A and B are shown apart, each in its own frame.
Chain A
Amino acid sequence: MNDAVETVRRISGVNPLKCMKCGKCTATCPAYDEMEYHPHQFVDMVANGRLEELMGSKGIYLCLSCFACVERCPRNVKPGALVEAVRLMVIRQQEQNHLKPQEIPALLEESLPQQAITSALRKYRR
């Protein structure tokens, strides 16, 4: 797992050790209550190599990518970039796509914008 932690740090460009644990990311996150691990915990778990737990969590699909935590972190840690990197560690593995094209037709409705589907495919599969 150490190599995997290194990959997460490299592709996210985040050094989780810069975190001073103020909790501002969690306080500002619109999805904090939906995630098993809140953003500040997420950063701490990456720093401590607890990647498997994070990779198995549902929260990695609930981050809204709204960049509130990225904007407001006083230490420029970018928790949202870590969430994205951990999700990539999952979906880049073979057969680990979170969304399959054949699931799309059932999700379509008249007013749904194209970008919703395209974004989901881009975020949830490789």
Chain B
Amino acid sequence: MTYSYFPGCTLKTRAKDLDRWGHAAMEALGIELQELPEWQCCGAVYPIARDEIALRLSSVRALATARDLGQPLVTLCSACHHVIKRVNGDMQRDETIRDRANTYLQLDKPYEGEATVLHYLEVLRDAVGFDKLKEKVVKPLTGRKIGAYYGCLLLRPSAEMAFDDPENPTILEDFLRAIGAEPVIYAQRNECCGGYVTLEKRDFAKKRVAAIEDNAAALGAEALVTACPLCMYNLRENGNGMPVYYFTELLAEALGLKEVEA
């Protein structure tokens, strides 16, 4: 199966590990991620105000290209996924936004939200299957206690993201079990890390990270996994040294891909 793939700005620069191990793992699992031609920034933050049209356009361009290619659009970065998925919902449901975006873009065929937007984890769960993934694991992460850090962007608002149960998510824990690790469930796993204020109020961001790390550590986690480059930066730079990995790094490790490269 071939999917269109939207990497986003940060995966090509500061978050290369999220991108390259994600690609390598899907290839090993028999799925091709085809980078969307001439993709632009997703918009970086979802524009909450309904009268912000321009900030939605780059997502609409990506969505329309994916539709024209006839392939579901897969994202990996939590922020890209959040923005593109919600803008797609706007194009399906909000007549004003749809009309204004299409009037501006003048696409050959107006875009009305036809594309399917999937997060990488959803492809792992639904197209590969966690049972199947487990069979492909050659180097299980046996005995490693890992806390899944969901953060906010993948889960909320659940009415639009429809990703997992927003208060009791399981997809990352199921993933961790599939690669042989022991997931640690802790209360702060779906609370915000404060990444957005790190530029202006680092002390506040540090408080948030401490709350997350302390909670995870108290329940036995020795490391955290995330899908978000901003969470990764914040947890690493403003934390107390608990290791943080992209989930694709652990996936590649379990599939034996890291050793092949080394």
Q: Which residues of A contact B (CB under 8 A)?
A: 10-13, 30-31, 34, 61-62, 64-68, 70-71, 80-81, 84-85, 88, 107, 111-120, 122-123
Complex alpha-carbon distance, A114 and B13, angstroms: 8
15 additional contacts (CB under 8 A) given A13-B50, A115-B77, A120-B196: A12-B49, A30-B208, A65-B45, A67-B156, A68-B156, A71-B155, A71-B156, A71-B157, A80-B48, A81-B49, A84-B48, A113-B13, A114-B9, A115-B8, A122-B55
List which B78-130 residues lie within 8 A (CB) of chain A: 79
Question: Would you give 17 A-B contacts (Cβ < 8 Å), ordered by A?
Answer: A10-B50, A31-B197, A31-B204, A62-B204, A64-B194, A66-B152, A70-B156, A71-B157, A84-B49, A85-B48, A111-B14, A115-B10, A115-B79, A116-B195, A116-B230, A119-B45, A120-B199
Closest to B232 in A: A113
B166 at the interface (CB under 8 A from A): yes
B36 at the interface (CB under 8 A from A): no
Number of A-B contacts (CB under 8 A): 110
How many chain B residues touch the partner (CB < 8 A)? Answer: 43
Q: Which residues of B contact A (CB under 8 A)?
A: 8-10, 13-15, 41, 43-45, 47-51, 55, 77, 79, 151-152, 155-158, 166, 191-192, 194-201, 204, 208, 229-230, 232-233, 236-237
Q: Answer whether A114 and B14 are a contact pair too, CB < 8 Å, given A119-B44, A123-B196.
A: yes
Complex alpha-carbon distance, A85 and B191, angstroms: 23
Complex alpha-carbon distance, A118 and B201, angstroms: 17
Complex alpha-carbon distance, A81 and B150, angstroms: 22
Q: Which residues of A contact B152 (CB under 8 A)?
A: 64-68
Q: Which residues of B contact A111 (CB under 8 A)?
A: 14, 233, 236-237
Q: Which residues of B contact A71 (CB under 8 A)?
A: 155-158, 166
A123 → B minimal CB distance (Å): 6
Contact A64 B236 (CB under 8 A): no
Complex alpha-carbon distance, A30 and B191, angstroms: 8
Looking at the complex, which one of B166, B192, B208, B233 makes contact with A116 (CB distance below 8 Å)? B233
Complex alpha-carbon distance, A116 and B197, angstroms: 9
Contact A119 B41 (CB under 8 A): no
Q: Which residues of A contact B44 (CB under 8 A)?
A: 115, 118-119, 122
